[in-house]
Amino acid sequence: MKPFEVRSPAEQASQHLRQEILAGSWSEYLPGEAALAAELGVGRDTISGAVKILAKQGLVISQGAGKRRRVKAPSKKPAPSWQVEILCFESTDRHLDYILDVFYGLIARGHQVKFSPKSLQEMKMDPNRVARHVKRSNAGAWVVVAGSNEVLRWFSQHDIPAIALYGRIESLKIAAVGVKITPVYRSIVKRLAKLGHERIVKLSRYETRFPNPSLIERALLEELHAQGLPVSDYNLPVWDGSFNDFHRCLDSLFQISPPTAVIFNQPDLFLAGQAHLSQRGVIAPRDVSLISMGELPVFAWHDPPISHAQFDTSPIVKTILGWMDKISIGQADTRQVSIPAVLIEGGTIGAAPKG
């Protein structure tokens, strides 16, 4: 069965407008938002959101406040069209704004793009299963999201254009773009240590812990050691990526020697973990400090403000689209780009609880 995709009204409207632009319906200027809203039978907010998506994809250009947006006409000599497949770490990745920007940005460049029917999680991060899927697919280029070292090594050893979005790229010659997140981990540990924390943990998935800890995990352990804090497997509890095991892992942590701080590597996991703990009377920052290594728009509505790593995703989109531009004209590109991140301390970090 083909995966069911839920798109917001703005995304649906942007897809319609994109098709009209590429078909040449507007050669110079995009009609005003009021006219477009009336034509499509939707609200102004929906059109405003759709136009912002088109602007990110480079199909419309702002001319300033109160002026109509200029339509950027497609190139008269487009690069050859490619079949591109986005292989997500988990199925929910396809709803992330910046991955959708990559998806629609590639389409705007004339490529045929699809998401893999199964995620890496659903394929158990098995290189053999990934290899069988790639061989069955008609895709000529791949965007691989958060692949394990073994999966990315398979792509790097075959004549298949692929770019890693995050993932374990250690010692691999493969195009990649990710976030330079290890300095943020070190900053978090230093800050927590100053606040009296001794039991600091990061929930880790199997592929980031084995056969050896990833660069991120190693940086965390090294900084704990540098701060004179105890280091053991306790600091990197492993869960298998499932709903039930996530909750099992959290519950087991708080049974005997509760951590004073928990780091979640994804913002959705942070929200799930915070909700699960609060149902058990464990509140941040009173009982535990909680930190997210990513950000969601909903964070702006949260009280207290969520402590998190912040980074700009637009360079990620630009890097992937630029990589595909080169691949489509026959130029090899194995550059590895890291986007800087900063720590936003927020209000879910506090002094270590007593006892």
Q: How far apart are the first and last CA of the chain?
A: 52
The CATH code of the domain that includes 205 is: 3.40.50.2300
Q: Whole-prediction pTM value? A: 0.75
- pLDDT bracket for residue 9 (50, 70, 90): confident
Is residue 159 located within the same domain as residue 198? no
Residue 2 lies in a domain: no
Is residue 322 located within the same domain as residue 300? no
Is residue 95 located within the same domain as residue 188? no
- Edge-first strand order for the sheet with 261-264 is 200-202, 261-264, 289-292, 307-310, 342-344
- pLDDT bracket for residue 272 (50, 70, 90): very high
Q: Residue 2: is its pLDDT beyond 50?
A: no
The CATH code of the domain that includes 15 is: 1.10.10.10
Residue 299 phi, psi dihedral angles, 5° rounding? -60, -30
Is residue 255 located within the same domain as residue 330? no
Residue 4 lies in a domain: no
Residue pLDDT, tens place only, 108-147: 999 999 999 999 999 999 999 999 999 999 999 999 999 9
**Torsion from C-alpha of 39, 44, 47, 49, nearest 10 degrees:** -170
Is residue 293 located within the same domain as residue 321? no
Distance CA 160, CA 137 (A): 12
Q: Residue 71: is its pLDDT beyond 70?
A: yes
Please say which residue of 23, 50, 71 terminates a domain: 71
The residues, ordered by sequence, that sit 6+ positions from 220 with a Cβ below 8 Å of its Cβ are: 185, 186, 189, 200, 202, 235, 236, 263
Is residue 303 located within the same domain as residue 214? yes
- pLDDT bracket for residue 339 (50, 70, 90): very high
Count the domains in the chain.
3
Is residue 219 located within the same domain as residue 303? yes
Residue 67 lies in a domain: yes
Is residue 57 located within the same domain as residue 119? no
Is residue 187 located within the same domain as residue 303? yes
Is residue 39 located within the same domain as residue 112? no
> Are 325 and 297 in contact, with CB atoms under 8 Å apart?
no
Range of the domain at 125: 83-179+312-340
Mean pLDDT of 69-75: 71
Distance CA 192, CA 286 (A): 14
At position 60, the amino acid (one-letter code) is: V
Is residue 48 located within the same domain as residue 16? yes
Is residue 214 located within the same domain as residue 272? yes
pLDDT reported for residue 58: 80
Residue 349 lies in a domain: no
